[in-house]
Amino acid sequence: TAQVVDCRSPEASCKSWKLKGEVECTTWNHFSPFYFLASTDKGNIYCCDVRTNDPVFTLHAHDEAATGIALSSQLPGCLLSVSQDKMVKVWDIQDNKPSFVVSRDMKMGSILNVSACPDSPYVFTLGGEKQSLQVFDISQSAPAWKHFKNRQCLVNVAGAAPVNKAGEETTEEKETTEIEDDMDMDMDANAVSAMKSLSLNKNEQRKDSVGKKVKKKKNKRK
């Protein structure tokens, strides 16, 4: 069973979906806020809409328990699933029409968890029985890159700089960098001006001090 609960009023606001098998993992579709995904020990992935009572689609993703699922932080429709069958699979669920993209045996035994990098649309981390942690960049997989390369990334998470495949800064990032450079130059100029002002004040204080000492000496001689 999968449930959606409103924590502000958990008893009054609760909706359930009966799914086959035990639920292993759930995640919200942050590109479509009415939808969430759930994986089960039967290897299935369900997509549910909080506005309806039945799953939008059911995907038989693995032959063993689907232990983890993760959506790309910025690439709509890009879903990764991992399983006790030792495989990680890449799916495209755009428009709620799931299609298989590519799979890989990561040589880490049963894979227990997958998580998307918030700063890159293509990078994920995997946790497994062997070599407990691996980073998986799906852009290095020819089938995955061919499938997703022309899809626009919609989210720039946590102020991350948009970067194209060649690793070059985008126009937006260049403009941001230029603005930051101008701000730094203004701050540097203000700092230099303040230092000069401080230096002038110190020189004036020294002159006043020297002048007072000279006057005192003259008065003593008289």
Q: Is residue 62 part of a domain?
A: yes
The boundaries of the domain holding residue 61 are: 2-149
Lowest mean pLDDT, pick from 12-16, 63-67, 142-146, 195-199: 195-199
Average pLDDT (85-94) is 98
Residue 155 located in a structural domain: no
Interacting residues of 27 by C-beta distance below 8 A, sequence separation 6+? 36, 37, 69, 70, 71
136, 123 contact by CB (below 8 A) = yes
Q: Is the pLDDT of residue 148 over 50?
A: yes
Per-residue pLDDT for 14 more than 50?
Answer: yes
Distance CA 102, CA 193 (A): 60
- Please tell me the total number of residues recorded for the chain in this structure: 222
Q: How many domains, the chain? A: 1
SS3 label, residue 191: helix
Residue 217 counted as domain residue = no
Mean pLDDT over each residue of the chain, to the nearest integer: 82
If one counts every other C-beta atom within 10 angstroms of the C-beta of residue 82, the result is: 32
pLDDT tier at 176 (50, 70, 90 boundaries)?
A: very low
Domain assignment of residue 211, yes or no: no
Is the Cβ–Cβ distance between 65 and 40 less than 8 Å?
Answer: yes
Which whole-number Å values give the CA distances from 145 to 120, 148, 155, in the listed order? 14, 5, 18
The predicted pLDDT at position 156 comes to 47
The reply to whether 58 falls in a domain is yes
Percent of the chain at pLDDT > 90 equals: 62
23 against 6, higher pLDDT:
23
Higher pLDDT, 164 or 10: 10
Task: Kindly provide the residue ranges of all beta strands, DSSP E only, lying in the chain, ordered along the sequence.
Answer: 2-5, 14-17, 23-28, 35-40, 44-49, 57-60, 66-71, 78-83, 87-92, 99-105, 111-116, 123-128, 133-137
| pLDDT of 73 strictly over 50 | yes
191 within domain boundaries = no
Res 83: pLDDT: 98
For the entire predicted model, the pTM comes to: 0.69
Q: Which of 173, 70, 161 is nearest to 120 (CA)?
A: 161
Residue 172 located in a structural domain:
no
pLDDT value, residue 131: 76
What is the CATH classification number for the domain harbouring 23? 2.130.10.10
3-state helix, strand, coil in the chain (%, to 5): 30, 35, 35
